[in-house]
Amino acid sequence: MLVPFAHCDKVKAMTETASRLRMLIVEDSEDDALLLLRELRKGGIDPYSELVDSEERLCLALRENKWDILITDHNMPGFSSFRVLELVREYSADLPVIIVSGTIGEGVAVTAMKSGAQDYIMKDNLSRLIPAINREVREGSIRRAKRVAETTLEYMAYHDSLTDLVNRREFERRLMRALEDTHNGDGDHVLLYLDLDQFKIINDTCGHIAGDHLLKQIAALLSEQIRSDDTLARLGGDEFGILLHGCDGYYARRVAEKLCQEASEFRFVWQNKPFSVSLSIGMVLIEKHYDNASELLSHADLACYAAKDRGRNNVQLYQSNDADMQQRQNDMHWTSRIQQALQSDSFCLWKQDMVALQPNDTDGYRTEFLVRLKEGDDVIPPGAFIPAAERFSLMTKIDRKVIELAFRYLDQTGLGREETGTFFINLSGSSFNEPELFLYICELADTHRLKPERVCFEITETSAIANLNVTQQFINTAKKRGFKFALDDFGAGMSSFSYLKALPVDYLKVDGGFVRNLLTDPIDLGIVDACNRIGHAAGLKTVAEFVENEEVKKRLVELGLDCAQGYGISKPCPLD
């Protein structure tokens, strides 16, 4: 049916199924349009059609409807097929166009084809019309599908598939553009770095599906709180970034604090269980001294973690003179070096020997393994990298490496199969929380054919008390296998005595801070004496740390301590 433009609303209401060919006809002669439709019906095509005869009506038809094909005359009053082609490229680039005209010449037809027409047909010879329509509708569908696929791929390249937000790659590009604006003096911008505080708990407790739902809901919540010209992105995991365009630090802080408030009032419900969440936000003013987006994001990340360290659910502005941020920046630098060292086997062991102080000692040779990091010709002591490893949860990996190196040494030297001797290996508190560590230790001991009685694991008093139940379980299980345990830095907390009964250890290593000054400080002397007496009352052997001279050693002998360790006894040295 031919639909004059004046009646299009009525016809739209009567439109048949969507599978019917939808044809837009651009023609100033309704008779010619009817002849064209009659030819189509004779060939078995009965399209839904609309007739337009002006540029204005053509624009409206292209905007309001989707068409399968457009048939146009070439010459109309003040309106030619070239203008039709221009408008099609503007509104519907994949729509195939066939020119059907009685006056078009060969040269004009060639020009029209170069301008985007798919075919041209003379009105006095319509035999090619139906094959041309079938061909171009089919190829037009292919072009549309290809364009949709390309558009989808391009969209996916710049957006997060879960939340539909801008992804990290695109966010960094926009961040760099904002930095260029700042360098050119074209406005102030602020970067916010957001971390969802409770995400891991919910993700681990309820599963990844729940975690994904939470992230999508938080993304929607954050989107509602920022302006349309600001940029919200998911940077990875539970981390988001916001680029606030054209604003100062005062406004940015108000926005960040509002985001914290909205998140804290939000309740995530999963399987009828409500969960509270909160945000930690790091804020960076985008200023001229920054050179790239990576530096901005790094400082925003530091500020975000500072917000976490200071209680979570708050906003922290990055300040280069902040001691905590400087320390965290140093720690983050160390994490990459530690990871590299673990991959390249750059950790090595040193040892520091102990001596027996009492003549009736029969336990033989004692030494403590000490971890070092080798970088070229440099040997780096643990004090440089252990704080970073503890802060970024890398100590368990380092502990495993130390155990591996120590057991290999005890195997190669045969010391691990002797009838006497004790070799001390430090374990961090976090390692006691790893369920698989004990199995790893046992398998490695079996592999190297070691006697467990030759190995004594050390844990600091503060770590043991902080995870008392876990520590008890680990020690009890390992002692059944034959391993020994020492409580290191004993006495430092002075809550030690009340916990000692709960920890079935074999050695007490008295904190060196008391040992060092026991000749001049009566309080330190009293503490060392008390630790020794309590240790012996519990049936344990006592070791004094930080023994730096012969006079201190003699006093320790008089007090009755069993062993001594320190620079006055033996300095740390590489393993043979």
- 397-435 pLDDT, tens per residue? 999 999 999 999 999 999 999 999 999 999 998 888 887
- Number of C-alpha atoms within 13 angstroms, CB side, residue 51? 18
* Per-residue DSSP letter, 319: -
Position of tokens 């490496």?
401
Q: Where does the pLDDT of residue 12 fall: very low under 50, low under 70, confident under 90, or very high at 90 and above?
A: very low
Query: Token pair for residue 244?
Result: 């606030």
Counted residue by residue, the chain has a size of 576
Tell me the average pLDDT of the chain: 87
Spatial distance between the Cα atoms of 540 and 281, rounded to a whole number of angstroms: 49
User: Could you tell me which of 105, 137, 566 has the C-alpha nearest to residue 354?
Assistant: 566
Query: Token pair for residue 476?
Result: 């009890």
Query: Token pair for residue 488?
Result: 């290191």
Give every CB contact of residue 299 below 8 A, 6+ residues apart in sequence.
282, 284, 318
CB 259 within 8 A of CB 229: no
Spatial distance between the Cα atoms of 331 and 317, rounded to a whole number of angstroms: 19
Spatial distance between the Cα atoms of 535 and 509, rounded to a whole number of angstroms: 10
Which residue blocks in 14-167 are alpha helix, DSSP H? Answer: 30-42, 55-64, 81-91, 106-114, 129-158
Position of tokens 């057991």?
407
- Average pLDDT of span 491-498: 62
CB 488 within 8 A of CB 370: no
Strand pairing partners for 161? none
pLDDT higher than 90, residue 136: no
pLDDT higher than 70, residue 16: no
Query: Token pair for residue 355?
Result: 């001596």
CB 461 within 8 A of CB 496: yes
Give every CB contact of residue 498 below 8 A, 6+ residues apart in sequence.
none
What is the per-residue pLDDT across 70-105, written as a single tens digit (0 to 9) for each? 999 888 877 888 899 989 988 888 899 998 887 777
Query: Token pair for residue 221?
Result: 């919540």
What is the per-residue pLDDT across 308-326, written as a single tens digit (0 to 9) for each? 878 889 999 988 777 777 7
**CA angle, 206 as apex, 202 and 208 as ends, to 5°?**
85
Spatial distance between the Cα atoms of 398 and 376, rounded to a whole number of angstroms: 19
Query: Token pair for residue 242?
Result: 């916001």
CB 486 within 8 A of CB 506: yes
Domains of the chain (ranges; CATH) run: 5-156 (3.40.50.2300), 168-320 (3.30.70.270), 347-372+389-574 (3.20.20.450)
